[in-house]
Structure 1
Amino acid sequence: MSLADSDRELVVSELGREPTQAEAALFENLWSEHCAYRSSRPLLSAFDSEGEQVVVGPGDDAAVVALPGADDGDGKRQYITMGIESHNHPSYVDPFDGAATGVGGIVRDTLSMGAYPIALADSLYFGEFDREHSKYLFEGVVEGISHYGNCIGVPTVAGSVDFHPDYEGNPLVNVACVGLTNEERLVTAEAQEPGNKLVLVGNATGRDGLGGASFASEDLAEDAETEDRPAVQVGDPYAEKLLIEANEALVDGGLVESARDLGAAGLGGASSEMVAKADLGARIELERVHQREPNMSALEILLAESQERMCYEVKPENVDCVREIADRFDLGCSVIGEVTDGNYVCTFEGETVVDVDAYFLGEGAPMNDLPTESSEPPATDLPDVDLEDAFEAVVSSPNTASKRWVYRQYDHEVGVRTSVGPGDDAAIVAIREASAGLRSAEASAELRSAEASAEPRCAETSTEDDRKIGTGLAISSGAAPNWTDAAPRDGARAIALENATNIAAKGATPLAAVDCLNGGNPEKPDVYDGFTGIVQGLAEMCETLSTPVVGGNVSLYNDSVAGPIPPTPTLAMVGSKSGYDAPPLSAASEGDLVLVGDVGLETGSPRLGGAEYLAQFDGSDRFPRLPTDPATVIQTLAAVADDDTTLAVHDVSHGGLAVSLAEMITAEAGLEVTIPGDDPTGALFHEQPGRALIQTRSVEAVREAFDGVAPVVELGTGTDDGMLTIDIGDRMLATDASEIRELRATIERGLE
């Protein structure tokens, strides 16, 4: 590790002396792109992060959002926490441990806010599926996520998987976590008062993960899988589970003044950031840290990124209680120092190894002023492909095929909150605590008693009344590399609208979002231009949808000898609704099917830019237009989805109408549809977001709801034969549920 010359000059000027070895390493890590956002922070002010529902916005370990009109029956407002993290470089070097520790880190960010983790969402991006190295990374990452999440008992309920050739040398692993707390339990990462003790709880510190922050802030080298292995942490999910429960006991007991997860830059990062937020200092004796390896140096203790560790600020009179709880859960516990009103000071065996202003350490990094260089969009080049061949290729593409192989490895029902699980447009988890205030006192007490029993009622077995009275939290997460590769700004706008449409399809309205902004080497003008575009596009659409972006993560230098990744703005969005019932995605054997949105009749020929059709057949086109009033479309769709006459709802996006229709077919219910217009390819395969298929008992009710909002096109009816029949122009496509299931089993076949 080495501090850049320009940064060293700035540090020397501030300190009035040369930095010690430990100080130089600390500055290098905390001033890295991964921690300081030197290339991205100037852009992030574009996001609107405010709203009456926002309790804690960007800058803490996780954001905190109030659930609308919800309390826990005792008058305390009910909150959710939201966070998202990337573990991209570590997952390339070691896919299992890299992905697993990504889960562990975002869960501990949730604990830092005094919240209990209730749901995970993973968005994963790999090189082309038919390449062996991509499959190796894919299998290892999924195994790491499932192992860690399953062991700690937090359900993985949503996410996405995409394959694109430009991820071959640098996969992306983005993981989001939702937690539950209330205004009485809320904790932040801001230190409160000089004299309070700093207590380290959790696993012992080893030498793993040294320099992880700086490693994540540089391009991956060709030999990264061997040379950078020491920078990857090794997780212990069983210790994490103990830490989750210990954290609950500490928060319930009112023993925590502030908290921070030990993630990037280890103890040095967590402890200095805690006090810097309050413009305070600390004095830490590094030799007091409980260690698992002999003869560790001050620098190693300070910067090791060993997992399953938390730093708590604790009042002196509560230290013994904290130690007792740590012992109860068989966790290590060290009182390592205290909060002060001076500098951030670390000593080791009587020698001062760090003595700096904490605020300068955290906020002193100079921001980068980088050039951009835009490129011309490709000329229109639409391949002429047989319609039946195109249908099979697009429906069976790894990007649009079933992800069942992935989510069947995750325990998405643990915690007995999952009402709608993975494989749908959005997941829904039951927030029973938020509904307690809507019930009678007797019913509330009965519910809490049932949840505390050995056999709590799960969302899937709750009574119909429970499902309508409770509060549902819808969760959607993902991006679309084909979209942002074709048009960074418009593609990012479309990603935000797509996630909102997923939530609205379940009858929920968007509440808030967090983002994980992934890009290549920002020092390349064309790469930075694309990154700038995704920030602007995401910010614009989220503001249009009145959905504040309350937190997030930036991961740059996702570049390798294979080249930069596509600009990839993963968005994890949540929405709320009354009750946790939702219309199914699958078709019913009766009822009329309509498309809400453009099928090419209103705006001329559909645009295919960014579509899976062009990815399969090497073409180019302009990116689709978006609805003129997307916020009203989303609000209306959510209301219609919850209407009693609605039988099924499914959004239309990746793969276009062809894939959405295929996904609705089951052995018990088919669809017979007619696509209007004279452009069958465009109508079936363009991917304009903000559209949905609605199966209903009352077409007129849908028309009336969307009057003046979006076009409503009648497509056909449900059948009981399990067939998908598409009449389009002078062609007829017909296939049954078993054939569709075989087409969509691409991932299972490819991994056999």
Structure 2
Amino acid sequence: MPDAPHLDTVATAETTPDTPLPYAELGMADDEYTRVREILGRRPTSAELAIYSVMWSEHCSYKSSKVHLRQFGEKAPQSDALLVGIGENAGVVDVGDGYAVTFKIESHNHPSYVEPHQGAATGVGGIVRDILTMGARPVAVLDALRFGPADAPDTRRVLPGVVSGISFYGNCLGLPNIGGELGFDAGYAANPLVNALCVGVMRHEDVKLAQAPGPGNKVVLFGATTGPDGIGGASVLASASFDDESHAKRPSVQVGDPFLEKLLIECSLELFREGLVVGIQDLGAAGVSCSTTELAAGGTGGMRIDLDRVPLRDSRLTPEEILMSESQERMMAIVEPDRLDAFMATCARWNILATEIGEVTDITAEEEKRGGRLVMSWHGETIVDLPPRTASDEGPVYHRPYSRPADQDALRENDPLRLRRPETDDELRDQVLRVLSAPGVCDPRWVTEQYDHYVRGNTVLATPDDGGMVRISEDTGRGVALATDGNGRYTRLDPYTGTQAGYAEAFRNVAATGARPLAVTNCLNFGSPEDPGVMWQFAESTRGLADACEVLGTPVTGGNVSFYNQTGETAIHPTPVIGVLGVIDDVTTRLRSSFSPDLDGAKIYLLGETRTELGGSAWADVVHGHLGGNPPRVDLTSEASLAEVLATAAEDGLATMAHDLSDGGLATALAESALRGGAGCDVWLDEPFTGLFSESAARAVVVARPGAEATLMGLCSRHGVLFTGIGTVGGDSLVVAHPKGGFEITLGELREAHASTLPGIFGDDG
């Protein structure tokens, strides 16, 4: 450790205004550093610079996205269900019977490329702690993954590690993985997207907030010790900026310990039950910098911290490194003095290290005007004295220039309607199998079988059903359903419509389980915000999502922005991943997405209108390697009507199964339903090519309960949903007939095409 006389103290900073600091190396622009000096009235100490650099990073401050994200609040629909909205660690919604649910999705893209296993594992751990800090018990996770071409060497390096990391961490925590997505595209080469969602359950009265009220209350750090892993991770920087070259090889990706996190979860929940916590925050991105500034800003605005008390697993860490470390499995609590002994005793019972490192302080009226006062000491010297709100809430806000990319019009004009279509039934049959076997459409079980879907015993639906569903408690039949969706091809063609299409698909997937969609979270994955074309994509995408949520009445409860997903000058497809949560009163009425032998002879209906819409479709991509034209039109009114039909059909027992139509159109939906249940189907299509491959939105395949066909038809009629009989369940083949002929594919052939792709690329052992 450095000796106290060599510390960069506040007193030193006041008398050495011209001492150079490595602000540029820490990602700060000249004007940002100038603003820090203006806030403090002097140059910052190196410790203060560490705090501002991570708290004003793109990841923590949303400085390039904030002006666009505001519309999620400005256009937010009125919802009595929303208990906690944007601004906290996660949103909270009322799901009835005194229960509340909190959920959120975040990215761990860059760490997962650098070190796939640990990057993905700690992504799961971080989002789980976000849910825990709201006072909830985490009950399930989902993941949305995108990789480069499946057969590319780099994908074969990254994907197995990412999957093993998610599996290892989630399975060790005992959390079921109930759904998500898996996609492949050349645009994600060297830029995988690893987005993790967690959902938790609590009673209304159990909600906790990130705040530090009450002067004299103690600040307690509990959980893992602080190490060198992940230093500067929030700003994608190495700790070497502050120290000599001996530190340069320290890991930039966090290292996770799920067994410690499991203990931390149970310990925290017991602390909550015993009323021993008045404020709570996890230590994720930006570590101690984030937890102290955000807790102080959310309370009185005053806090005093002794960094010497922070338990370390590497005694060489400097104060700056302690502040920037993103070591996992750590939490910070605000505890009343007379409850401190009880808090420590509870932590000891769970074998969780807990250390008092400071206290909440009162502030003067003058300090309040400045945003409070966060003071930190090291070896008895003051090395931080700053207004915490200026770090946590008042960072830079950029109005980045944006403009429509030069190639956007040419891309839209390259209509897939010009592509050669199959001319014979044999060609049509072959193309069905090609689409079904494509890496982004095929059976993802090589991945999903590595996850535990049913641990805890409350899983109702899980992969491969359209949405995951869990019962919220053993004492109720009430459940929540979740789905994540996004389509980078659609969004590349039209960011506004493409984002709405991804949202509509997640909305539809939740409805297809029989649940009613209630709220939204999002993970917005884009290239560099310094590129006006990328910012145009982002602006259009956020506008599209805000408008859609306003129409469908689902508030955005929170989320994440991930920028700089690009290689050189080439950005990924703009990929907003949308998570939708819905509620079902009785999980026993849920709808599955499979044809099963007991449905033999049951009638299959197509709900919704099919148009010739192939822009960004799986058919155009797989068969022709084509991207162009317009994505499918999004009719939000039709989506709402379809969702109401599906939820009512489940509630009233009018349908036995439902499967939404999306990637690959009707061809994929029929094949998946047949393979999931082990029963074939016989369908008639007036125009087979469009009927099989169109990706028109607001559509679903349903099987009516025998005897309920007329009632289901009447329900659709009342809601203006087109209701078309297309065939029956039965047999051991997918049989397609049309006016000029038809074809047949056995379930064995479908299974070989659908299930063999990923094992063939990554190996038979999942």
- TM-score scaled by length of structure 2: 0.88
Is 1:380 aligned to 2:386, yes or no? no
The amino acid across from 1:106 in the alignment is I
Please, which moves more after superposition, 512-521 or 631-640? Answer: 631-640
**Aligned position for 1:477:** 484
Match of 2:378 among 323, 348, 361: 348
Is 1:38 aligned to 2:79, yes or no? no
The 5 Å alignment of 1:626-637 reads 626-627=634-635, 629=637, 630-637=639-646
CA positional deviation for 1:251? 0.5
Is 1:101 aligned to 2:107, yes or no? no
Distance 1:433 1:512, change over 3 A: farther
CA positional deviation for 1:279? 5.0
CA positional deviation for 1:227? 8.6
Please, which moves more after superposition, 45-54 or 610-619? Answer: 45-54
Query: Where does structure 1 differ by over 4 angstroms across 4 or more consecutive aligned residues?
Result: 226-229
SS in 2 for 1:294: coil
SS in 1 for 2:208: coil
Distance 1:306 1:321, change over 3 A: same
**Aligned position for 1:464:** none
**Aligned position for 1:683:** 691
Is 1:711 aligned to 2:743, yes or no? no
- Whether the 8 Å CA contact 2:50–2:323 is kept in 1: the answer is no
The amino acid across from 1:685 in the alignment is F
> Deviation digits for residues 181-204 of structure 1, max 9, x if unmatched?
112222111222111100000011
Q: Provide the identity percentage.
A: 39
CA positional deviation for 1:644? 2.3
Is 1:426 aligned to 2:467, yes or no? yes
SS in 2 for 1:231: coil
Is 1:699 aligned to 2:735, yes or no? no
In structure 2, how many angstroms separate the alpha carbons of the residues matched to 1:531 and 1:238? Answer: 38
CA positional deviation for 1:277? 2.1
Is 1:599 aligned to 2:610, yes or no? yes
Match of 2:751 among 741, 744, 748: 741
CA positional deviation for 1:229? 7.2
Match of 1:395 among 415, 433, 436: 436
Is 1:142 aligned to 2:177, yes or no? no
CA positional deviation for 1:280? 1.1
In structure 2, how many angstroms separate the alpha carbons of the residues matched to 1:152 and 1:564? Answer: 35
**Aligned position for 2:672:** 663
Please, which moves more after superposition, 528-537 or 112-121? Answer: 528-537
> Deviation digits for residues 225-272 of structure 1, max 9, x if unmatched?
x99972210000111011011001101110010100001111111111
Distance 1:373 1:389, change over 3 A: farther
- Whether the 8 Å CA contact 2:154–2:190 is kept in 1: the answer is no
The amino acid across from 2:37 in the alignment is V
> Deviation digits for residues 43-97 of structure 1, max 9, x if unmatched?
01222445201111111111111113x1xxxxxx211111221101000000000
**Aligned position for 1:561:** 568
Is 1:615 aligned to 2:624, yes or no? no
Distance 1:541 1:175, change over 3 A: same
SS in 1 for 2:643: helix
**Aligned position for 2:19:** none
The amino acid across from 2:468 in the alignment is A
SS in 2 for 1:194: coil
In structure 2, how many angstroms separate the alpha carbons of the residues matched to 1:728 and 1:562? Answer: 48
> Deviation digits for residues 450-491 of structure 1, max 9, x if unmatched?
xxxxxxxxxxxxxxxxxxxx1021111121222212221111
Is 1:62 aligned to 2:90, yes or no? yes
**Aligned position for 2:151:** 130
Match of 1:23 among 42, 48, 54: 48
Is 1:541 aligned to 2:530, yes or no? no
The 5 Å alignment of 1:629-648 reads 629=637, 630-648=639-657
- Whether the 8 Å CA contact 1:412–1:421 is kept in 2: the answer is yes
- Whether the 8 Å CA contact 2:229–2:252 is kept in 1: the answer is yes
In structure 1, how many angstroms separate the alpha carbons of the residues matched to 2:255 and 2:472? Answer: 33
The amino acid across from 1:425 in the alignment is D
In structure 1, how many angstroms separate the alpha carbons of the residues matched to 2:655 and 2:471? Answer: 21
In structure 1, how many angstroms separate the alpha carbons of the residues matched to 2:504 and 2:235? Answer: 34
CA positional deviation for 1:505? 0.9
- Whether the 8 Å CA contact 2:654–2:712 is kept in 1: the answer is no
CA positional deviation for 1:24? 1.0
CA positional deviation for 1:433? 5.6
In structure 1, how many angstroms separate the alpha carbons of the residues matched to 2:214 and 2:94? Answer: 27
The 5 Å alignment of 1:264-663 reads 264-342=285-363, 343-374=373-404, 375-376=408-409, 377-381=412-416, 382-386=418-422, 387-432=428-473, 435=476, 470-561=477-568, 563-581=570-588, 582-587=590-595, 588-600=599-611, 606-616=612-622, 617-619=624-626, 620-627=628-635, 629=637, 630-663=639-672
CA positional deviation for 1:389? 2.7
In structure 1, how many angstroms separate the alpha carbons of the residues matched to 2:206 and 2:636? Answer: 42
CA positional deviation for 1:583? 2.2
In structure 2, how many angstroms separate the alpha carbons of the residues matched to 1:738 and 1:642? Answer: 34
SS in 2 for 1:594: strand
The 5 Å alignment of 1:223-242 reads 230-242=251-263
- TM-score scaled by length of structure 1: 0.90
In structure 2, how many angstroms separate the alpha carbons of the residues matched to 1:369 and 1:710? Answer: 42
**Aligned position for 2:80:** 52
In structure 1, how many angstroms separate the alpha carbons of the residues matched to 2:149 and 2:250? Answer: 24
- Whether the 8 Å CA contact 2:436–2:668 is kept in 1: the answer is yes
- Whether the 8 Å CA contact 2:462–2:469 is kept in 1: the answer is yes
In structure 1, the gaps of 5 or more residues are 71-76, 218-225, 436-469, 601-605
**Aligned position for 2:8:** none
In structure 1, how many angstroms separate the alpha carbons of the residues matched to 2:438 and 2:716? Answer: 33
Q: Number of residue pairs matched?
A: 695
CA positional deviation for 1:729? 4.3
- Whether the 8 Å CA contact 1:425–1:502 is kept in 2: the answer is yes
Distance 1:104 1:628, change over 3 A: closer
CA positional deviation for 1:665? 0.9
Please, which moves more after superposition, 426-435 or 552-561? Answer: 426-435
In structure 1, how many angstroms separate the alpha carbons of the residues matched to 2:163 and 2:747? Answer: 28
Is 1:12 aligned to 2:23, yes or no? no
**Aligned position for 2:233:** 212
Distance 1:229 1:411, change over 3 A: farther
The amino acid across from 1:560 in the alignment is T
CA positional deviation for 1:733? 2.4
Distance 1:564 1:668, change over 3 A: closer
**Aligned position for 2:366:** none
Please, which moves more after superposition, 516-525 or 322-331? Answer: 322-331
> Deviation digits for residues 191-221 of structure 1, max 9, x if unmatched?
221111000000111111100111189xxxx
> Deviation digits for residues 389-434 of structure 1, max 9, x if unmatched?
3212111111111111111111111111101111100111012367
CA positional deviation for 1:308? 0.3
- Whether the 8 Å CA contact 2:54–2:235 is kept in 1: the answer is yes
RMSD (CA atoms): 1.8
In structure 2, how many angstroms separate the alpha carbons of the residues matched to 1:228 and 1:657? Answer: 52
In structure 2, how many angstroms separate the alpha carbons of the residues matched to 1:229 and 1:179? Answer: 34
- Whether the 8 Å CA contact 1:34–1:216 is kept in 2: the answer is no
Distance 1:479 1:145, change over 3 A: same
- Whether the 8 Å CA contact 1:89–1:216 is kept in 2: the answer is no
The 5 Å alignment of 1:79-228 reads 79-215=100-236
- Whether the 8 Å CA contact 1:484–1:492 is kept in 2: the answer is yes
CA positional deviation for 1:332? 1.3
Distance 1:65 1:433, change over 3 A: farther
Distance 1:431 1:124, change over 3 A: same
Is 1:725 aligned to 2:735, yes or no? yes
**Aligned position for 1:448:** none
The amino acid across from 1:417 in the alignment is N
CA positional deviation for 1:628? 5.6
In structure 2, how many angstroms separate the alpha carbons of the residues matched to 1:688 and 1:180? Answer: 35
- Whether the 8 Å CA contact 2:228–2:250 is kept in 1: the answer is no
In structure 2, the gaps of 5 or more residues are 1-24, 239-246, 364-372, 423-427
